[in-house]
Amino acid sequence: MSAASFPEGFVWGVSTSAFQIEGATTADGRGPSIWDGFSADRAEACDHYHRHTEDVRLMKDLGIAAYRFSVSWARVIPDGCGKVNTAGLGFYDRLLDELLAAGITPYATLYHWDLPQALEDQGGWPVRDTARHFADYAAAVHERLGDRVDTWFTVNEPWVAAFLGYGSGIHAPGRTSAADAFRSAHHMLLAHGLGVQALRAAGAAKVSAVVNISPVLTPAQVSDFGRELSEEDAEAVARIDALANRQFLDPMLRGAYPADLIPLIERHAGLGHVRDGDLDVIAQPIDLIGVNYYAPLVVQAQPSEPADPAFPGSEGVLFCTVPTAVTAMGWPIVPGCLSQLLGRLSREYPETDLMITENGADFVDVVTGDGIHDVERISFIEEHLRALRSAIENGARARGYFVWTLLDNLEWADGYQRKFGLVHVDFATQKRRMKDSARWYRDVVARNGLSETRARRPTLETVAARAHVSRATVSRVVNGETSVSPEVRATVMRAVRELGYVPNAAARSLVTRRTNTVALVLSVPRQGGDPLTAAVVQYVTSMLEGAGKQITLMLADTAESHRRIASHVEARLADGVVLLPPDRADTLAERLSRTGVPIVLLGKPAVASLVPYVDVDNAGGAAAATEHLIARGRRHIGMICGPMDLVSVQDRLAGHRAALHRAGMRPLLAPADDLTRASGAAAARRLIGDNPSLDAIFVAGDQLAIGALRAAQEAGRRVPDDLAIAGFDDIDAASATTPQLTTVRVPVADQALALARLLLSRLEGRHVTSVVLPARLVVRDST
Ligand code: FCB
């Protein structure tokens, strides 16, 4: 095998799932599924049900050897159990014939999350019978399609279906019960085992399941996998690994739940649903395991952190966001984790062959006159293939790779905004267009590997030289300008094709006057108030860069710098502006908005403005903290405010007042000039001195709160016994105090993501509205 090629017979494919592409949710007797009305977007998806012929043609064009699709249970058995709908099976019948005629081997998944609604109405996955119905369904599908399917996958990503569907409720059916989530997981495992038995009995050749494996790391390990962990972090990592990964791998491949998981299951769901013999059924021998890999889970120990509802039993574990490059989903891009996880699976489950059944990425695509140049997606897949290649070289038994996914589709609760496809779909017309990544993947498949060296991209200059024209002419042609004669256009396009040139920002901007640059304007961080801004800057930068933008960082600290920034933007040296935080820079925001260049703000501006912003629900968070203090029996609650020209502080005060008012209590306020610990301590001393019966303080920021905590202790107050203290922002230091600080968490990465999205939408000329994200109370020992 050469440096970049894959083993002979390596299987190249693409994956899809029924609900995400088929549409036609009422055609030919299909029954409703739990997903039909769950997403805000309508479920026509890609209308693949009617366009499968065209889609198989696309696959043939890609040259792939294999196609992994899923069968819709509700199409085959509309009531979930009982009568089989032959018309529904007829669709897959036609699809298989077309695939085989195109020389593509079908891999069928039986359950990719779309439970028939009728079964959900009878209790859904928390109910044991659902597993039995699944086995009957598997047998019915095999009976009609078994002669043409090579490999069967029983369930896809049972963790997601159980814990997002029944635990956190962000997926259908949207239930939120830890007990139901664990029971669902067990019944999905049981469905897998019974399904394998049914398929084998019917003579199926190869049977498997698809699991999503998320390597679990601490933030420090993201850049250094070998990093030693403290005992606490090692325990946090192991616990999340048990919940996310071993909960499924161990029963399927070893016939037992991991010992460290059993107490968690028992605590939340009891063990009554795990019956004698179940694990033997679940551990039926399988031929391979399908692995979906997108991103690692990054965690660290953080005592008194509440459990994440998607991981019941994760108390004391903080799910961290790390400043790596991310996809448009906000998922960190860590290709090395793919080698790591394949190595691990090969070591721990050495008998089982592996197949990467999903890997791919959501990026913001730009449709231009000459195509969709999704360089980020190409580089994402390329880097993951290099990681896969090196795992294989080190002995991992990985037999194939399937890109998620063929078409832009209906990405579950996120709807159509996500773009994972190699092929672009215009959902207004259902027109399909190959992106550059599709053509690139076709070459990978044809070559059975990557090119030896990362291709050096031909530049505008190379094309101009080859076509004997100027750079500006090349730029005009690739931007679809009509002022160029047909002959010259043909010459340039030939050079473009021969060189495999992908027009870049420079080529486009020569003509469109787009700079492809975004100005990130920072007003000077206030003392004590900057860690959040710093984190947001990091994330916004990485997201906008991920979307192909260059970032110019500009500091708005003086009147002179305001003038410089305004003239920079007026001269159109930036396509858009992100301004953060705007508390002092309101006049700048207004001034910039008059230039007509799209601008977005972090934080609500002081004066009502037409400029869209991203903010957190400061008032709601403050009200939640205050209500919590009241619920803990506190009756004399003071508040330390920060500088009142900060809009966020004004909102926090308003929320605090409103909560007190509802409880019939009066505010006791102490202002602070800045956001530092020293000011917090001074304000606390004043509050305590002036109000002998004070029994709680709500503080508008964590640094202030930490200062207040120390001052209270110095004044002889026991926290929380005499005086409860709650802060705001949940900075790292908030969980390092003694006692640890109760505070309100502001979603940092989500704000950055929303900000980047808002700006990208504005750059595309779309109308956008401001976004206010929820803030969550994190209760620790100080209250
Ligand atoms: C996986 C799912 C697939 C798609 C991708 C992005 O978890 O199996 O359907 O949603 O994520």
Q: Which has the closest alpha carbon to 612: 623, 624, 621, 603? A: 603
Q: Is 411 annotated as a binding residue?
A: yes
Blockwise average pLDDT, block size 10, the chain, 783 residues: 83 98 97 93 94 98 98 98 98 98 98 98 98 98 96 98 96 97 98 98 96 94 89 97 98 97 98 98 97 96 88 93 76 93 94 96 82 88 96 96 98 92 96 96 96 68 83 75 80 80 57 73 65 74 78 82 86 87 66 85 76 91 97 96 87 96 95 93 96 96 96 96 96 90 89 86 81 91 96
- In ligand 1, the atom with minimum distance to the C-alpha of 156 is 8
Q: What is the pLDDT of residue 132?
A: 98
Amino acid at 587: T
Centroid of ligand 1 to alpha carbon of 621 (angstroms): 32
What is the C-alpha to C-alpha distance for residues 93 and 74, in angstroms, rounded to an integer?
Answer: 16
Structural contact between residues 290 and 269, judged by C-beta atoms closer than 8 angstroms: no
Which architecture characterizes domain 10-335 according to CATH? Alpha-Beta Barrel (3.20)
Find the helix or strand (DSSP H, E) in which 623 lies: helix 618-631
Strands of the 317-319 sheet, one edge to the other: 216-217, 297-301, 317-319
Find the helix or strand (DSSP H, E) in which 423 lies: strand 423-426
Q: What is the pLDDT of residue 328?
A: 81
Length, in residues, of the chain? 783
What is the C-alpha to C-alpha distance for residues 632 and 204, in angstroms, rounded to an integer?
Answer: 61
What is the C-alpha to C-alpha distance for residues 276 and 292, in angstroms, rounded to an integer?
Answer: 30
Indicate whether residue 411 lines ligand 1 (CB < 6 A).
yes
Q: What is the pLDDT of residue 456?
A: 59
For residue 68, the cross-strand partners are 15, 107
Here the tokens at position 102 are 């195109």
Q: What is the pLDDT of residue 507?
A: 55
CB atoms within 10 A of CB 94: 12
Query: Measured between alpha carbons, how far is residue 585 from residues 610, 645, 647 in Å?
Result: 15, 11, 12
Q: What is the pLDDT of residue 608?
A: 65
Same fold for the pair 517-615+756-767 and 617-748: yes
Centroid of ligand 1 to alpha carbon of 112 (angstroms): 9
Ligand 1 pocket, mutate which of 404, 408, 411 (most atoms under 8 A from CB): 404
Class of domain 460-503: mainly alpha
Q: Is 284 annotated as a binding residue?
A: no
3-class state of residue 532 by DSSP: helix
Centroid of ligand 1 to alpha carbon of 409 (angstroms): 11
Q: Which has the closest alpha carbon to 134: 80, 90, 86, 173? A: 80
Structural contact between residues 196 and 135, judged by C-beta atoms closer than 8 angstroms: no
Q: What is the pLDDT of residue 529?
A: 55
Which residues, other chains included, contact 437 with Cβ-Cβ below 8 Å and sequence gap of 6+? 374, 377, 378, 381, 422
Q: What is the pLDDT of residue 557?
A: 76
For helices 375-393 and 336-348, the axis angle rounded to 10 degrees is 30
For the chain, give every domain's residue range: 10-335, 460-503, 517-615+756-767, 617-748
What is the C-alpha to C-alpha distance for residues 782 and 741, in angstroms, rounded to an integer?
Answer: 5
CB atoms within 10 A of CB 646: 23
Q: Which fold has domain 617-748?
A: Rossmann fold (3.40.50)
Residue nearest to atom 2 of ligand 1 (CA): 157
Which residues, other chains included, contact 88 with Cβ-Cβ below 8 Å and sequence gap of 6+? 28, 29, 30, 72, 75, 76, 78
Q: According to CATH, what is the number of the domain 517-615+756-767?
A: 3.40.50.2300
What is the C-alpha to C-alpha distance for residues 687 and 696, in angstroms, rounded to an integer?
Answer: 10
Catalytic residue numbers read 157, 358
Q: What is the pLDDT of residue 503?
A: 62
